[in-house]
């Protein structure tokens, strides 16, 4: 006899409490009214329900489907495709270590391994105090600041094992941490609400959103023939004996 399990079919997701449903429905209408086709509002609505519960629950999926005239299967397909949507509860701070190629070789793999052991969690798990969810992430288009750590999608550039450990310690202790660039940090739920398209009313937050940093603009300056430093940012340490001489300085290069 095989071990095939015939489980009970899942019951429909419960609805939000009435007061929560009404509040979210008013928010959802504001989002939906921005789009000529209501289904275009699905991504921000998923952020909206994520802001409510800290993740996209079955109740949140049902809510989005009801608001947009979609099936729960259609909403689930989208919610499970994008990695910014959590499918289970997580911590106040989503700490993502980039382990894509460039970050990995410049220290991302070492940082991820060190944080797993420092926090006592594996990929996707949350610390017992509910503060930090650790995950490895793919390239965040910040390779010129590798290795990069993201906290709630804000950039912490040029990290080391030591700086990343300090970062998560500060987050867990409730100390203020400042991203290298961009807006000040807020909790995962607050970030989700901003991503749903509601205004960031913290003083200076919009102005701090920033643009490209010096390393990202170095190529543009070179292409324009502008005088710029040959190297931006401080020279890296050489953890594994890598050669960090300037391009063109190698002996015999012609
Ligand atoms: S490889 Fe890490 S940001 Fe691109």
What's the pLDDT tens digit per position in 29-47? 999 999 999 999 999 999 9
* Ligand 1 atom with minimal separation from the 99 CA: 2
* Ligand 1 atom with minimal separation from the 98 CA: 2
Give me the pLDDT at residue 224, please: 85
Say whether domain 93-184+201-208 belongs to CATH 3.90.1300.10: no
Residue 99 CA, ligand 1 centroid: distance in Å: 7
Residue 149 CA, ligand 1 centroid: distance in Å: 9
Ligand 1 pocket at CB < 6 A = 98, 100-103, 139-140, 142-143, 146, 148
Across residues 111-129, what is the average pLDDT? 98
Whether the predicted pLDDT of 246 surpasses 50: no
Contacts of 92 (CB under 8 A, 6+ apart): 130, 131, 132, 171, 187, 188, 189
Q: Which fold has domain 18-79?
A: Arc Repressor Mutant, subunit A (1.10.10)
Residues 135 and 96 sit within 8 Å (Cβ to Cβ): yes
Residue 153 CA, ligand 1 centroid: distance in Å: 13
Q: Rounded to the nearest 10 degrees, how much is the dihedral formed by the CA atoms of 157, 158, 163, 169?
A: 20
143 annotated to a ligand binding site? yes
Residue 157 CA, ligand 1 centroid: distance in Å: 10
Residues 134 and 117 sit within 8 Å (Cβ to Cβ): no
CA atoms within 13 A on the CB side of 104: 7
Whether the predicted pLDDT of 157 surpasses 60: yes
More confident residue, 73 or 184: 73
103 annotated to a ligand binding site? yes
Across residues 71-83, what is the average pLDDT? 95
Across residues 111-125, what is the average pLDDT? 98
Give me the pLDDT at residue 191, please: 96
* Domains in the chain: boundaries: 18-79, 93-184+201-208
More confident residue, 76 or 225: 76
């Amino acid at each position: 006899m095989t071990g095939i399990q015939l489980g009970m079919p899942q019951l429909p997701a419960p609805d939000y409490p009435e007061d929560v449903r009404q509040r979210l429905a008013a928010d959802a209408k504001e989002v939906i009214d921005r789009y000529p086709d209501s289904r275009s509002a699905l991504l921000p609505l998923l952020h909206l329900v994520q802001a409510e519960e800290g993740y996209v629950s079955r109740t949140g999926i049902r809510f989005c489907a009801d608001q947009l005239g979609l099936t729960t299967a259609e909403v689930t397909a989208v919610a499970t495709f994008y990695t910014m949507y959590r499918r289970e509860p997580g911590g106040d701070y989503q700490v993502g270590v980039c382990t894509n190629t460039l970050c990995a070789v410049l220290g991302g793999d070492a940082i991820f391994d060190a944080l797993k052991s420092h926090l006592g969690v594996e990929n996707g798990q949350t610390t017992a105090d509910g503060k930090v969810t650790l995950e490895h992430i793919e390239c965040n288009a910040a390779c010129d600041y590798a290795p990069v750590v993201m906290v709630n999608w804000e950039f912490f550039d040029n990290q080391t094992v030591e700086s990343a450990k300090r970062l998560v310690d500060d987050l867990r202790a409730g100390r203020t941490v400042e991203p290298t660039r961009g807006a000040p940090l807020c909790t995962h739920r607050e970030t989700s609400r901003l991503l749903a398209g509601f205004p960031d009313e913290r003083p200076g937050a919009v102005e701090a959103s920033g643009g490209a940093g010096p390393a990202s603009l170095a190529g543009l300056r070179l292409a324009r023939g502008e005088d710029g430093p040959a190297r931006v940012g401080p020279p890296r340490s050489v953890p594994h004996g890598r050669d960090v001489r300037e391009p063109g300085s190698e002996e015999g290069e012609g």
